[in-house]
Amino acid sequence: MRVTDAATTSNGPEGIAFGALAPDALGTPHRPFRYFSADGLALAGRDYPPATSTDRRPVVCLPGLTRNSRDFEPVAARLTRGDGGSPARRCVTFDFRGRGASQHDPRPERYTPLVELEDVRLGLARLGIEEITAFGTSRGGIVTMLAGLVAPGLVAAAVLNDIGVVVELTGLLRIKDHVGRALPSGMGWDELTQAMAHVNRRDFPRLDHDGFERFARRLFRDVEGRPALDYDPALSHTMKGLDPATPLPDLWPAFTSLTDAPVLLVRGALSDILSPETVTAMQAHHPRLDTYEAPDEGHAPLFEDAAALDALVAFLDRVGA
């Protein structure tokens, strides 16, 4: 079980508890929060206030399968401060159940995008947020698309980070091979960083040792100076039946539900999850779809380099999000 360890305060909306304002790993101020899901799990996230007052809707960040709120620290740093004439924006991040500071679910079959969407909708209601710009990485992008079907009007604009209507089976099988693997006993951060570089060099050939260490520290948590999984290993059960003959879900109806919302579709140039053909097909079906291809990155782009962050800000400014 993982729940946020921040001391809670009572000066928030009903049904949600906030911790004290504190800097994240990049020094960006945020308030950790937690609330209870409809089935009683303690769920967590972060609320990053804008550096200056703003009339822009919040950017709500939804992570990938095994990622968490720390994944969005570079995005939050850029968006909350605003620069170059771009307004500051509030960022809210969520840890899906079983990830990060959220509690593990004793019933792994509830680790599904629809359940995660309901958790997020409840959290937004607790925060008093009715309309969002969604930033969904991989799994978080699926949750974003489903929101268009389940909660029309919630997503006013969206960023889909390396996820589309067709999820390539090759990439899914690769992910399946890694999810839930325990770290070797006694492994330290330097050893983990080297292992991360070995496993992920194909997807992130430009990252140096420091870059892979940042990547590792966003994916794993520190326990007495050593890394540990920061997600429930039981997440692997959700992919147990996946094989080359598995029919994959049809995400076209969910994506089509966002037709009225401007969308930025991001693809890592080396991605094995989102193909160029899928990007082209999605462009043909969405009149307000912009695209950005992250060079020399696979699944999923990290959004910590200036070019990717500039593309994100330019999209948000262009659509008035």
* CA 43 – CA 99 distance, rounded (Å): 9
Domains and CATH numbers, the chain: 8-180+239-319 (3.40.50.1820), 183-230 (no CATH)
- Alpha-carbon distances, residue 302 vs 70, 183, 229 (angstroms): 11, 22, 19
Flag whether the pTM goes above 0.85. Answer: yes
The residue whose two tokens read 């809670």 is 8
Q: What pLDDT score does 249 carry?
A: 86
Pair of tokens at residue 267: 């693809």
274, two tokens = 């989102």
Burial 271-285 (b: 16+ CB within 10 A, else e): bbbbbeebbebbeee
State the amino acid at position 259 in one-letter form: T
Question: Quick one: pLDDT at residue 245?
Answer: 85
| CA–CA dist 95, 98 (Å, integer) | 8
- Lookup result for tokens 């500071």: 101
Q: How far is CA 137 from CA 16, 26, 228, 294, in A?
A: 25, 20, 22, 13
Distance CA 244, CA 109 (A): 21
Question: Which residue is associated with the tokens 């140039």?
Answer: 269
- Tokens standing for residue 22: 């504190």
* Three-state secondary structure readout of the chain: CCCCCCCEECCCCCCCEEECCEECCCCCEEEEEEEECCCCCEEEEEEECCCCCCCCCCEEEECCCCCCHHHHHHHHHHHHHCCCCCCCCCEEEEECCCECCCCCCCCHHHCCHHHHHHHHHHHHHHHCCCCEEEEEECHHHHHHHHHHHHCCCCEEEEEEECCCCCCCHHHHHHHHHHCCCCCCCCCCHHHHHHHHHHHHCCCCCCCCHHHHHHHHHHHEEEECCEEEECECHHHHHHHCCCCCCCCCCCCHHHHHCCCCCCEEEEEECCCCCCCHHHHHHHHHHCCCEEEEEECCCCCCCCCCCHHHHHHHHHHHHHHCC
Q: Calculate ∠ Cα 22-28-32, nearest 5°.
A: 40
- Taking the chain (321 residues) in runs of 10, the rounded mean pLDDT of each run is 44 85 98 98 98 93 98 98 90 98 97 98 97 98 97 97 96 92 94 96 96 97 96 93 85 97 98 98 97 98 97 94 67
